[in-house]
Amino acid sequence: MFENAPIGGGLAKVNPIAYWTFEDTFDYLAKYKIPAHPLHAKGYPSIGDAKDTIPIPEDGSVRFVNYQWEGDKTKWLDYATERKGRFVGLQNKDGSTKTECGIHVEGAEKTFDRDLWAESKVVKALDKAAVGALKASDETSVMVVYAPWCQFCQAMEESYDKLAAEMEGKGIVVAKYRGDEDRDYVANEFDVKSFPTINVFKGGKMTKYESEVRTPEAIKAFVESC
């Protein structure tokens, strides 16, 4: 906590909160009613940049609102988890998990610039107008609402492309809509609580795929059962 001045002169340093835990910080905010970052009330334990910071858990069930905890606060307060939710899906050049923002590093603005299914010939990218038309259509279609930084979305990239290739022969559109840039819209229109969210549209009806098994076979069977 105390760093003495070096021999020969210089500054001494005191680090009064060096041994605080993450929970100590929130306790202090609550005790003295210190304004907290508004994103804590939306489920974010740590605040990074918009493209690679997520709520923990992703459904936003844990929040710090009006100096009170909502949900299971232990999801935030494990040992040394002050940065939990940041740098999701990002790696350093050596393959290790990214733990620093790197804004001082040349080329840092290109840390994550790859979209999912960007080169797919069968997964259709939709804008809002096209999504509305798809949802209202009598034809059968499948749409994933995703975020490119989400590890679960990344994990299903290959399998979803395979599904789209199989469905193309049956005349069924398999589409994608990026939801992390328009969360209120996708939450209201497609019941998105976390990424990825897959919905099947058939006869003007939307049915949400609730399973976390996202193989082509499983999704295909679900589409056929709707």
Question: Domain boundaries in the chain?
Answer: 19-112, 123-225
Element (H, E) at 68: strand 68-70
CB under 8 Å to 56, separation ≥6 — which residues?
Answer: 43, 44, 45, 62, 75, 76, 84, 85
Respond yes or no on whether the N-terminal peptide bond of residue 148 is cis (omega within 30° of 0).
no
**3-class SS at 76?**
coil
CA–CA gap between residue 220 and residue 142 (Å, rounded): 10
**3-class SS at 164?**
helix
**pLDDT digit string, tens, across residues 148-176:** 878 889 889 999 999 999 999 999 999 99
Selected from 3.30.70.890, 3.40.50.2000, 2.60.40.1190, 3.40.30.10, the CATH number assigned to the domain covering 123-225 reads 3.40.30.10
- Of the pLDDT bands very low, low, confident and very high (cuts 50, 70, 90), residue 145 is very high
Instruction: Provide the percentage of residues in the chain whose pLDDT is more than 90.
Output: 58
CB under 8 Å to 31, separation ≥6 — which residues?
Answer: none
Across the chain, which distance is largest between two alpha carbons, in Å? 82
pLDDT at position 111: 42
- Of the pLDDT bands very low, low, confident and very high (cuts 50, 70, 90), residue 110 is very low
**3-class SS at 125?**
strand
